[in-house]
Chains A and B, each alone.
Chain A
Amino acid sequence: MKLARRLRLLIMIAVFVVSVAMVAAQDEAVLVIGHAESTDSLDPARGYTQTTGIVNRAAYETLVTFPDQDASEILPLLATDWTISEDGTEYTFTLRDGVTFASGNSLTADDVVFTIQRLQNVQGNPSFLASNIESVVANEDGTVTFTLAAARPAFLAELTNNAFSITDAATVMENGGTDAADAAETDAAEVYLNSTSAGTGPYMLESWEPQVETVLVKNPNYWGDEPYYDRVIITNIAEAATQKIALEAGDIDLALDLTRDQVATLEGNENLTVYSGPSVYTHFLLMNADPELGGPVSDPTVQLAIRYALDYEGYKALWGGVTPPTNLTVGLVAAYGEDKAFTRDLDRARELLSEAGYADGFDITLSYPDFTWQGVNMNTNAQKIQADLAEVGINVTLNPGELQVSLEEYRNGDQGFAYWFWGPDILDPIDVISFLPGGKVASERANWMPENAPAEINDLIAQASVETDQAARVELFAQLQDYLQESGAFAPFINPAVQAAYRSDLQGFVYHPQWTLDVAILSLGE
């Protein structure tokens, strides 16, 4: 009897404690995001993945930024104002007043200097972004001056990258961080920054359990508007089908990595809102300019014929998104819009082929990775390329490879005719230089060298690399895009759409080309 009474009392206490805990938990606004986590590090100087971008966008801030929805202009963030020297090599930033880090320390010019020097010296994955900066100095008036090795029109766009997240120097140093020249060996702050953040952003990192979940909580010392959600949980669900099921069941509020066919089945569900918009990834064919490797596709006339032969509408029907006119990502400043894209013209393609001496077509092998990227199955596209080109007599043999193996061949420039995709590292037209003679993809991977191009084109490329005047840039990049369309060694064919879905009362969702998602602008409607 006694035992039974005691047991009953115990159960009552337990029920009470649990219900109090549940009430407390319910009061908190929690957002759960299902996402295929890619994090390699959350230390801004070391991480360079999509998930790092989402987390650090919330926990840190950069000097300048893009608008919430796109990359159309540069806006102030931690810097309120900046001046650029006449020759384009010196940038001086005025810092915002009254900004504190999550620790309570005030933001100073020294924090900016520490952040940049540490980024350069730890030699982490994103350090290449700062390789152009010759020095960064804190001035007596509280401003910061960056001196670049050479004029760099994309510099401000680069500064929006979360690698340039301004970190709390005192806190990072207390936890083993250093910006010294030997930081690659001596900086030990990564462990700390993988478990806590040291930024000025609206959120703080509460925990990161690699490949399981990342938890963000509000930063009580945030200088700006308070975000809606108290807690944001990014849970790792690698499988898109599982993300969809968990969203339908209501266990997650937002599924970030869905595929097109999954989204189609959600269209009629009034509890969910579907998002579909172009990604910054361009899928393209590479046609090696070295005749030994490329064979017939090394001929610029054949390259143009192939651009006319592809069924662009067909790829859009498969994946959504936009047809890219060139490898300059649609939507960036100075980039051609979809209206300038190729449309399929089989007669023109056949005409060009016979002009090049291939009236009867030819045989060629297409190398590509057997891989699915953001829901786009490259095998499916390769089969469609094969079918498209068969119509003009080009007989394609498919050669899929394991991703890392194929990537190695591609990066070594060993593939004659290949299918790859590309996402810009910098959301600036300068990114397309990689696809022009002398650029990385063109010269190292497609063997398309400056000597293959006319002198005036090489001059244009040189000018476009340093020109900072906006109107002049638009003009220069227009000429380069015309040249790529006429004579380029590439055939870009689809910027597939990214697919996401979320509960219908979630407001503020934007898929951003730089940081993917800004959780601080999300809220729940009435």
Chain B
Amino acid sequence: MAFHIYFLRRLLFVVPLLFGITIMAFLIANAVPADPVTANLPQNALNDENLVQAFREKWGLDQPLHVQYLTYIGNLLQGDMGRSIKTGRPVIDDIKQFLPATMELATLSIVIGLFLGVGVGIISAVYRNSLIDYVSRIFSLIGVSFPVFVLALIGLAVLYAQLGIVAGPGRLGFRTADPPLVTGFFTVDALLAGDLKTFQEAFSHIILPAFILGSYVAGTIARVTRSSLLEVLGMDYMRTARAKGLGERRVLWHGVRNALIPVVTIIGLSYGNLLAGTVLTESIFAWPGIGRYMFRASTSQDFPAIMGVSMLIAIIYIVVNFVVDMLYFFLDPRIRGEGR
């Protein structure tokens, strides 16, 4: 199969998927038996019918559900995601502000997770049932099962407050000005501006949360890498390769490439999870990202923001899965049809 046909076929699935997600998100958000009016107006204002009515009209809550939905979709198609009740700004502006912080953190976390996880996984598989395998398996088990927020609080208390090795909450010191906005990644923007001091500060702030999230992801990646590589190493073609007289390194490389296929899926999913679900880590590290924004939106029934973030997360997963599918094309010869 040619790459472009594969690409287009996958792309076609995306449209109905997105459409379905808008309906699901809208229905779920509305199924909660709570009223945005009571969530957002002060107690005494609820006595005043005019104020309640004005609030409902302002946010379109006086319309029947299907009209609200169609209005939302109509606006969405024109690129308008509505205005957040809580921040008073267009949701798209909120996302533009909060997403880069989350992406920067998630990207560094996945890089850390990838190196740690794949490295530990390979070592574990190669030295199966040795001491080093047991130790690394225990570490990956801790990484997977230890609650992230506990790790985060311990990390802050010890490495930041006690030892002062890393910087504390926030993306930069509270007294430091943000670097000039280019990518929204503070580390990158600081480097682009040639401001090494700010870069150092941004890096010192991001490294601890990134390492904590990374080690969590690394646990899963290591376990999948190990089992996948063990499976591959036991395959007939590996024995054939050895029998052909290939060196042990070449043999291993041969195996690793094939073992990586399930690992790529896990990495994709983990990256999606990091972008969408780091609410606790962001709260603890006062990290102004999309997770914290989403939490505020959902606890105050901020419908436009809830819908906006739901769409965003859906798109993130779709894009990540899409990229993973594309990678399969290159990693797995069966998809390319070369095996026929």
Determine if chain A interacts with chain B. Answer: yes
| Cα–Cα, bound, A407→B301 (Å) | 12
The interface on chain B, measured as residues whose beta carbon lies within 8 A of the other chain's beta carbons, has a size of 53
Q: A131-B48, A210-B89 are in contact. Are A252 and B54 (CB under 8 A)?
A: no
Q: Does A316 contact B (CB under 8 A)?
A: no
Residue A212 CB within 8 A of the other chain: yes
Contact: B39 with A40, CB < 8 Å?
A: no
Q: Tell me whether A127 and B45 are in contact (CB under 8 A).
A: yes
**Segment at the interface with A among B30-38, B64-72, B107-115, B221-229:** B30-38
Q: Is B164 part of the contact surface with A, judged by Cβ < 8 Å?
A: yes
Q: What is the CA–CA distance of A213 and B288 in the complex, to the nearest angstrom?
A: 10
**B56 to nearest A CB, angstroms?**
11
Alpha-carbon distance A18/B44, docked complex (angstroms): 52
Interface string of B241-278 (1 = CB under 8 A from A): 00000000000000000000000000000000000000
Q: Are A239 and B284 in contact (CB under 8 A)?
A: yes
Contact of B197 among A18, A123, A127, A237 (CB under 8 A): A18
A27 and B173 CA atoms in complex are apart in Å by 17
A32 contact set on B, CB distance < 8 A: 174-175
| Of A240-248, A327-335, A482-490, A500-508, the one touching chain B | A240-248
Binary per-residue interface labels of chain A (212-251) against chain B in the complex, 1 for a CB within 8 Å, 0 otherwise = 1100000000000000000001011111011001101101
State A211–B41 Cα separation when bound (angstroms).
Answer: 19
| B175 closest partner in A (C-beta) | A30
Does residue B78 face the partner (Cβ distance < 8 Å to A)? no
Shortest distance from the beta carbon of B174 to any chain A beta carbon, whole Å: 5
Query: With A245-B156, A245-B157, A246-B169 in contact, is A404–B87 under 8 Å at CB?
Result: no
- Contact flags B274-311 to A (C-beta < 8 A → 1, else 0): 00000000011110100011001001010000000000
On whether the beta carbons of B174 and A249 are closer than 8 Å, the reply is no
* Complex CA distance for A129 and B89, rounded to whole angstroms: 25
Q: Which residues of B contact A14 (CB under 8 A)?
A: 194, 196
Q: Is B168 an interface residue (CB 8 A)?
A: yes
Chain B residues 146-182 with CB under 8 Å of chain A are: 153, 156-157, 160-161, 164, 168-170, 173-175
Cα A30 to Cα B174 in complex, Å, equals 10
Check if A252 sits within 8 Å of B174, measured CB to CB: yes
B169 near A404 (CB under 8 angstroms)? no
| Pairwise interchain contact A194-B39, C-beta atoms closer than 8 A | no
Mask, A70-95, CB within 8 Å of B = 1, is 00000000000000000000000000
Report A14-56 residues with CB < 8 Å from chain B CB.
Answer: 14, 18, 25, 30, 32, 40-41, 46, 48
Q: Known: A127-B51, A245-B168. Contact between A407 and B38, CB under 8 A?
A: yes
Contact A128 B168 (CB under 8 A): no
Cα distance A14–B168 in the bound complex, in angstroms = 26
Chain B residues, Cβ within 8 Å of A242:
156, 168-169, 283-286
Q: How many residues of A contact B (CB 8 A)?
A: 48
A14, A41, A212, A405: residue with the most chain B Cβ atoms closer than 10 Å: A212
- Check B136 for interface membership: any CB of A closer than 8 A: no
Q: Point out the residues of chain A lying under 8 angstroms from B55, CB to CB.
A: 123
Complex formed: what's the CA distance from A251 to B172 in Å? 11
B130 at the interface (CB under 8 A from A): no
Measured CB to CB, the nearest residue on chain B to A210 is B87
Given A48-B42, A212-B288, A245-B160, do A404 and B299 touch, yes or no (CB 8 Å)?
yes
B76 within 8 A of A: no
- The answer to whether A425 touches B88, judged by C-beta atoms less than 8 angstroms apart, is no
A233 to B172, CA, bound (A): 13
B174 near A245 with CB under 8 A, answer no
**Interface 1/0s, chain A 159-203, versus B by CB < 8 A?**
000000000000000000000000010000011001000000000
Q: How far, in whole Å, are A436 and B66 apart by their CA atoms in the complex?
A: 41
Asked if A128 and B51 make an inter-chain contact with CB atoms under 8 angstroms apart, the answer reads yes
The answer, yes or no, to whether A345 is at the interface (CB within 8 Å) is: no
In the complex, how many angstroms separate the beta carbon of A265 from the nearest chain B beta carbon?
11
- A236 CA / B273 CA spacing, docked (Å): 24
Q: Indicate if A340 sits at the interface (CB-CB under 8 A).
A: no
Closest to B197 in A: A18
Tell me the bound Cα distance from A123 to B170 in angstroms. 36
Known interface pairs A245-B160, A408-B35; A210-B48 also in contact (CB < 8 Å): no
CB of B97 within 8 A of chain A? yes
State the Cβ distance, A231 to closest chain B Cβ, in Å.
9
A123 contacts B175, CB within 8 Å?
Answer: no
Check A233 against B175 for contact (C-beta < 8 Å): yes
CA–CA, A44 to B32, complex, Å?
31
- Nearest Cβ on chain A to B178's Cβ, whole angstroms: 9
In contact, B46 and A411 (Cβ under 8 angstroms): yes
Residues of A within 8 A of B173 (CB): 251
Q: How far is the CA of A32 from the CA of B44 in the complex (A)?
A: 33
- Is A478 on the interface with B (CB-CB < 8 A)? no
Q: Does A126 contact B (CB under 8 A)?
A: yes
- Least Cβ–Cβ distance between A411 and chain B, in angstroms: 6
User: In this complex, what residue of B is CB-closest to A123?
Assistant: B54
A209 at interface by CB-CB < 8 Å: yes
Judged by a CB distance under 8 angstroms, whether B86 is at the interface is yes
A residues near B (Cβ < 8 Å) are 14, 18, 25, 30, 32, 40-41, 46, 48, 123, 125-129, 131, 184, 190-191, 194, 209-213, 233, 235-239, 241-242, 245-246, 248-249, 251-252, 402-405, 407-408, 411, 425, 440
Task: Sort A-B residue pairs by CB-CB distance and give the 3 closest, nearest first.
Answer: A404-B34, A123-B54, A210-B87
Residue pairs across A and B with Cβ atoms less than 8 A apart, 12 shown, are: A41-B88, A46-B88, A48-B45, A126-B45, A184-B54, A211-B288, A238-B283, A246-B286, A249-B161, A251-B174, A252-B174, A404-B39
Residues on B lying within 8 angstroms of A by beta carbon are 32-35, 38-48, 50-51, 54-55, 58, 85-89, 94, 97-98, 153, 156-157, 160-161, 164, 168-170, 173-175, 194, 196-197, 283-286, 288, 292-293, 296, 299, 301
Instruction: List 4 additional A-B contacts (Cβ < 8 Å) besides A407-B38, A408-B35, A440-B43.
Output: A233-B174, A237-B170, A245-B168, A252-B174
